[in-house]
Amino acid sequence: MLLNSRVVRLSVASLGTGLLIGIVGGIFRVLLLVAEHLRSAFVGWAHAWPYIGWLGPVTMGLICAALARLMVVRLSPQAEGSGLQNVEAVFSGEANRPIRRFCPSNSSAASWQLAPVWR
């Protein structure tokens, strides 16, 4: 009887969710540290080329920005602003619910450039 209790099931689900979120957050943190190391190594390599070395990081920044834009345009074309207007339109019946998609553009292309900022 106690194991079928709604409170127990909710508690177990909450613990499992918290554990999963902690694992995903830890993996993300490790990936940020790896990205920071790779970025630092890349900038160190660029410093070895006195006059043209700056082109490497600038080109990488342009490629990452273009990749992020391409991912948003291709994977989530309805992404604009905060999305509050879309939520209000769905609630008022003026629009249909959007298709649920995961757009990893923020965590992939931008993390190369912003890894040292997220400490």
> What does pTM read for this prediction?
0.57
Has residue 114 got a pLDDT over 60? no
Q: In whole numbers, what is the pLDDT of the chain averaged over residues? A: 81
Average pLDDT over residues 4-30: 92
Q: Report the pLDDT averaged over residues 84-91.
A: 80
Angle between helix 6-47 and 105-114 (nearest 10):
40
What per-residue confidence (pLDDT) applies to 97?
76
Give the lowest-confidence range in 7-11, 49-53, 115-119. 115-119
| DSSP per-residue codes, 69-106 | HHHHHHH-TT--TTSHHHHHHHHHTSSPPPPP---THH
Please give the radius of gyration of the chain, using alpha carbons only, rounded to the nearest integer.
Answer: 21
pLDDT in tens, 28-80: 999 999 999 999 999 999 999 989 999 999 999 999 999 999 988 888 776 76
pLDDT at res. 99: 65
